Amino acid sequence: MNKNDLIAVIADQTGLAKGDATKAVDCVFDTITSTLKGGDEVRLVGFGTFNVTRRNASEGRNPRTGEKIQIPASNQPKFKAGKGLKDAVNS
């Protein structure tokens, strides 16, 4: 399922116009993104938790040439599935 498929399902199940469903989906994604960017986490009880972890700088190798390269430190978004989602997927 891609974003357009998700929007179509939401529009169909809620009776919203596709344009309104698009705005709703974009708003959810934008809110999660801006919250994570601000250093906070997003907890959706029963679904899961989005948070950000810090990845330290490290040294890697270019797989083609074997040359050593520096990998800069970065923030990595993470998602941990909640019990409700895990149970739904495994039932």
Q: What is the tens place of the pLDDT at every residue in 31-77?
A: 999 999 999 999 999 999 999 999 999 999 999 999 999 999 999 99
For 57, other C-beta atoms within 10 Å of its C-beta total 9
State the Cα torsion 73-77-79-80 to the nearest 10°. Answer: 40
| AA letter at 44 | L
Residue 45 has a pLDDT of 95
Reference 82, options 43, 29, 34, 56; nearest CA is 43
Residue 65 has a pLDDT of 93
Residue 22 has a pLDDT of 97
Q: CA neighbours within 13 Å on the CB side: how many for 51?
A: 9
* Structural domains of the chain ordered from first start: 3-89 (4.10.520.10)
| pTM of the model as a whole | 0.81
| pLDDT level of residue 28 (50, 70, 90 thresholds) | very high
